[in-house]
Structure 1
Amino acid sequence: MINRKKDKGEKPKKEKLRVRLKNKFSNSFIGRNLKELTIRIKFLIQRLDRKIKQSVQFELVIAIIVCFLIAGAIYMVTNNLFRNIVYTSVIKYDYDSLSNNAESMARYIEENRTVDVNGEKRTIDINDNKYFQDVFNMYKHEGDLVFITDLEGNVLRKTPNVSNEKVDIFSVLKGISENKYEEEFSVEHNGRYDISTNQSKPKEFTALYPISLGKEQYYLVYKAIPTGRIENLEKTVENSFLAMVLAFLAFIILFLIVTKNKMKYIHEISEGLKVIAEGELDYVIAERGEDEISRISKNINIMAREVNKQIEAQKLAEKTKSDLITNVSHDLRTPLTSVMGYIGLVKDGRYDSEEKMKEYLDIAFNKSEQLKALIEDLFEYTKINNSDMTLEKSEVNLVDFISQISEEMKPFFEENDIEQILTLSDEKIILSLDVSKMVRAIENLLTNAVKYSYKPGAVIIGVYKKDNFVTISVKNRGDNIPEEKLQKLFDRFYRLDESRNTNSGGTGLGLAITKNIIERHNGKIWAECYGNDISFYVRFRM
């Protein structure tokens, strides 16, 4: 029980100690620098990863490096697999030992020319046969030929196996071999050595050293046949060419595998571009990745959408043009037919009384006025719709401007039993406007509100400012306008009365003209309808 309590008490202490040490290390100079270094490394890795994903060049470089490293590893492995071991035998002859013996013998004679004989020291001369025989036996091997000659080549001292009494010093010098000699043999790979068919006799070793005894000069000649020893060697033969070919093939295959998806994506873009070129502008190429190829597919999709929009706009323009011709023809023909008909009645005298003739002329005159209004609206719309038209702007107090227009239109409102209700801002709202054109726009809005209001009724005209925008509102109560028709109110020649009865509406150009004027002033116009409450809004940025 005591041990358990100790264990339970020690664990929190160890944990606290660990946390304390960790915090201490984190707050230390090394800890702070290590943390900063870790953050920088992570940032660099993220930046590099982003660069790689956004650049085809980086992707190709990384792919080449990876394929090259793998191909290099394959080269090393296959080179080891194809490595072959060839066994060779070398017979080496011990010329060094003979050379050392001859040199040591000559040096010994030079350094030990004085000997102790019965307590007396004397100098050795060439006649001390026993001395030289002892020296010869001390250094030579069995079978070696050693002798001493004078300058004329007379053999003065020799080993028993030397038969010559005189030698040619020049020939001896010529026979001195300075090159070592060895025979190398290649054998089969099973590890057996066979040199019986390649044996050859070694060259005779010859050495000549000048020595001096007293005042006389002599030559020490050492001749011997060296003994040979066989050394077994292993040679590694590599098939690097085959390993290189395999590594190259591996590199090509790996590169094709690594770039397969990218090439497949390029092919997909190519096929998609072909489909779009054939006229399917709604076709969308998949956008994968963040690199240049993905951006190409994105730009192709944008291009296709824009071209499709232009084609649709062109189709709409053609349809609108056709509708314009049809509507203008209808709207011009109807009043013109009436005018010609009633004037024809008067011309032909087909009336019963003076009052009847006057009635016919009044109808013809009214139809002529309608015809005139339509022509004026057409002219106005064409003029305003002209992109070369310039606005003649001036600074205007919008509150006073709207108030003046509503005052001038009061008789028109009263004739139609419509009350004006003004809710105008108390402060001045200064805007830069083309007064004549803006008057036309506001009058069209108010005229439209009167025509389509319940009678008797009221039209609420408001001007107010909020944030950096000023808004003009015209509200009335009338028949509900469905949402789909609200969107068409500002189209040219559009009327709520689809029968195009001129008695129930205007020319169909009023709101289209108004919209064009507002947009020329960088404003926005729209309509809203909730139940029987119809509202038109015009908004300008201050």
Structure 2
Amino acid sequence: MKNQTKMWLLIIISIFSSLIIFIAASFIMGDFGNKGYDIGDLKTISNEVLTTIDQQEKGISSILDAAHAEHPAVHFEWIQADGTAIYNTAGTPQNYDFQQLADHFLSIPYNLWTEGETISLVYKTHLQQQPYYLLMKLPSTAMQPGQVYFFLRTTKVLLTLLLPLIIAFMVPYLLAIWFFSRMNRRIHKLNHALTQVNLQKDIIVLQDTSKDEIGQLTQHYNSMVERIQSQVIEIEQFDNKRKQLLSNLSHDLRTPLTMILGYAETIRNGLYKDDRELQSSAKIILQRSRYMDKLLDQLLDITRQNTHALTLQLAPHNISEMLRKILADYLLFLDGQDYIVDVHIEDTDIMIHIDVALMERAIRNIIDNALRYGKEGHYLGIILKEQQNDVWITIKDKGPGIASAEQERIFERFYRVHQGRQGDGLGIGLSIVQEIVDLHQASIHVTSVPYEETLFQIRLPKKEDELN
């Protein structure tokens, strides 16, 4: 059953229940809290007494005494038309003149609610074609404390009394209908939007400025769909990069593999001229094999990144000594290649809390990039500088550099500045550098001026508590 149907049923049941409870409560509360006689009760008593007298025509005194015994608060008098009192249940009968009778009915009905006043009512009958009057007297305290009477000449006037009552009853329910209808529309919009959530469609964003629970739920829905939309975009971008990675990898592996197969076939068939050509072929096979091994290492790095395998193991290390060892390896590689190597490492050893294996890997990735893409500048600069709270590692080259539009994206996974070039890696080296820097709560900064200076600068916090 829908909420709207439930709401209408609830309202209808509430209206009838309210009326029933109102009527029942009025009678119950009247019985307990509004005891006494009202005008209708006295009229009924008088009719019973007069009917009994009309039927018996004798023993009026006994009939009046019996009525008084049943209603001790009420006294009865039987009076002739000329004011002669025949019988009085209160004692000796007293004859009345007009003034005395009129005094009994002064200020009626106002003295109904006045303490100490006596209420007098008179009823007429005929016996043997002679008029007689039944006078009933009782104290005002014997009357009901609450009495309301409506006297209507026409039924049309009844509408003027019922209409305000109906409006008073209906206003709360009309307000409830308006409130629940508005709430139901908002829930319906939210439900419709949720059913439309689909990765292949545009996501519906709802506008609801209310601060209630539905408004908060709507805001959570908007936040959720925005996250879904953002994640869908990221997934699409990642999928495109994955396809590009597979395409690049197939090209990057095909060329060296073709060369390895060709030179291996030459060696196996003895088609080389002399030992020098044999050594040259073996050298090319070794170089291409090492290049393929490096590509496979990069694939392993991708797997580790996906499984978050990089974990930080901090310990105090001499970063000056670490840089010297790295440079020693590259100096052997650059020997005889007409490279200018500009090194500035202070003689004083610098101790810092780092994961030495990860930091060495990051520095080697940056140096590899500088040698690969900046080789036209024939320059490699490395600077280690200690500040008050930081240690700065700077690596420079003077190659063609990185365009300003590309500098913001070079740390993305699978992104390569030269998208059309093959044999330049898979585009994950600098993304690994960024991850290692982030693990150390450090920062890396890039600036580039073509053929003047391309600079990568890492700032490492020196204090141990900054890494916690």
TM range (shorter): 0.5 to 0.7
1:374 and 2:254 correspond = no
Provide the C-alpha distance between the structure 1 equivalents of 2:387 and 2:212, rounded to a whole number of angstroms. 48
The structure where strand makes up a greater share of residues is 1
Mapped partners of 2:165, 2:307: distance in 1: 75
Match of 2:430 in 1: 511
Equivalent position of 2:466 in the other structure: none
Match of 2:266 in 1: 345
Q: 1:242 to 1:279 in 2, by over 3 A?
A: farther
Distance 1:354 1:408 in 2: 29
**Paired amino acid for 1:519:** D
> In the TM superposition, what is the alpha-carbon distance from 1:522 to its structure 2 partner?
4.0
Answer whether contact 1:462 1:474 (CA < 8 A) is retained.
Answer: no
Q: What letter matches 1:510 in structure 2?
A: G
Is the Cα contact below 8 Å between 2:397 and 2:454 reproduced in 1?
yes
Query: AA paired with 1:479?
Result: P
Equivalence for 1:179: 76
User: How is 1:95-494 mapped onto 2 (pairs within 5 angstroms)?
Assistant: 178-180=75-77, 201=81, 204-206=84-86, 236-237=150-151, 241-257=162-178, 264-276=185-197, 280=201, 282-383=203-304, 386-388=307-309, 390-422=311-343, 430-453=351-374, 454-465=376-387, 469-494=390-415
- Measured against aligned partners, the alpha-carbon deviations of 1:7-35 in whole angstroms (never above 9, x if no partner) come to xxxxxxxxxxxxxxxxxxxxxxxxxxxxx
What amino acid maps onto 2:459 in structure 1? R
Tell me, yes or no, if the aligned pair for 2:78 and 2:86 is still in contact at 8 Å: no
1:326 positional shift: 2.8
By how many angstroms is 1:337 displaced? 1.0
CA distance in 2, matches of 1:207, 1:499: 131
- Report the AA paired with residue 304 of structure 1: V
Distance 1:378 1:276, change over 3 A: closer
Q: Is the 8 A contact 2:382 2:393 kept in 1?
A: no
Asked whether the 8 Å contact 1:206–1:224 carries over to 2, the reply is: no
Indicate the SS of the match to 1:288: coil
Counterparts of 1:526 and 1:373, CA distance in 2:
26
Q: Deviation string for 1:153-180 (max 9, x for gaps)?
A: xxxxxxxxxxxxxxxxx99999999525
* Alignment deviations for residues 470-499 of structure 1 (CA, whole Å, 9 cap, x no partner): 443323222142344334433455443434
Whether contact under 8 Å (1:281, 1:305) holds in the other structure is no
Quote the Cα distance in structure 1 between the aligned partners of 2:274 and 2:328.
42
* Paired AA for residue 363 in structure 2: I
User: Relative to structure 1, is the Cα distance of residues 348 and 297 closer, same or farther in structure 2, using a 3 angstrom cutoff?
Assistant: same
Q: Which runs of 5+ in 1 are unaligned?
A: 1-87, 89-169, 183-199, 209-219
1:537 aligns with 2:440: no
Shift of 1:335: 0.8
**What is the TM-score of this pair, normalised by structure 2?**
0.59
After superposition, give the CA deviation of every residue in 1:518-539 in whole Å (9 maximum; x if it has no partner): 3343444453334553222333
Call closer, same or farther: CA 1:381–1:434 in 2, change over 3 Å. farther
Contact 2:248 2:422 in 1 (8 A): no
Which shifted more, 281-290 or 492-501?
Answer: 492-501
Tell me the SS of whatever aligns to 1:276.
coil
Answer whether contact 1:471 1:539 (CA < 8 A) is retained: yes
Q: Distance in 1 between matches of 2:96 and 2:324?
A: 141
Moved more, 292-301 or 359-368: 359-368
| Residues 356-375 of structure 1: CA deviation (Å, up to 9, x unaligned) | 44433332232222223323
Hey, what's the Cα distance between the residues in 2 that align with 1:410 and 1:539? 25
**Number of aligned residue pairs:** 343
Distance, in Å, in 1 between the alignment partners of 2:404 and 2:437 is 22
Deviation, 1:516, is 3.6
- Shift in Å at residue 300 of structure 1? 0.6
- Seen in structure 2, the aligned counterparts of structure 1 residues 175 and 423 have a Cα distance that, compared at 3 Å, is closer
CA RMSD of aligned residues (A): 4.3
Q: Residues of 2 paired with 1:288 and 1:370: CA distance?
A: 59
String of CA shifts for 1:420-474, please: whole Å, max 9, x gaps: 44455798754332222321221121222233224333424343446x5544332
Contact 1:441–1:517 (CA under 8 A) maintained in structure 2:
yes
Give the TM-score normalised by structure 1: 0.52
What letter corresponds to residue 170 of structure 2 in structure 1? L
SS at match of 1:409: helix
Asked if structure 2 preserves the Cα contact closer than 8 Å seen for 1:327 and 1:493, the reply is no
Q: Name the structure, 1 or 2, with higher relative contact order (CA <8 Å, separation 6+).
A: 1
How big is the shift at 1:352?
A: 4.5
CA distance in 2, matches of 1:316, 1:501: 21
Q: In the alignment, is the contact (CA less than 8 A) between 2:316 and 2:353 conserved in 1?
A: yes
Task: From the superposition, tell whether residues 296 and 360 of structure 1 become closer, same or farther in structure 2 (CA, over 3 Å).
Answer: same
Percent of aligned positions that are identical: 22
- CA distance in 2: counterparts of 1:171 and 1:263, whole angstroms: 73
Describe the shift of the 1:471–1:356 C-alpha distance in structure 2 as closer, same or farther (beyond 3 A): closer
2:76 alignment partner, SS class = coil
Q: Give the letter for the 2:316 counterpart.
A: E
Matches of 1:497 and 1:174 in 2, distance apart? 125
1:528 matched to which residue of 2?
447
User: How far apart, CA to CA, are the structure 1 residues paired with 2:61 and 2:438?
Assistant: 123
Describe the shift of the 1:181–1:406 C-alpha distance in structure 2 as closer, same or farther (beyond 3 A): farther
Shifted more, 519-528 versus 369-378: the winner is 519-528
Change (3 A) 1:253 1:172: closer
Deviation at 1:302, TM superposition (A): 1.3
CA distance in 2, matches of 1:401, 1:352: 45
- C-alpha displacement of 1:244: 1.9
Residues 269, 475 of structure 1: CA spacing in aligned structure 2 closer, same or farther, 3 A cutoff?
Answer: same
| Matched letter for residue 393 of structure 2 | I
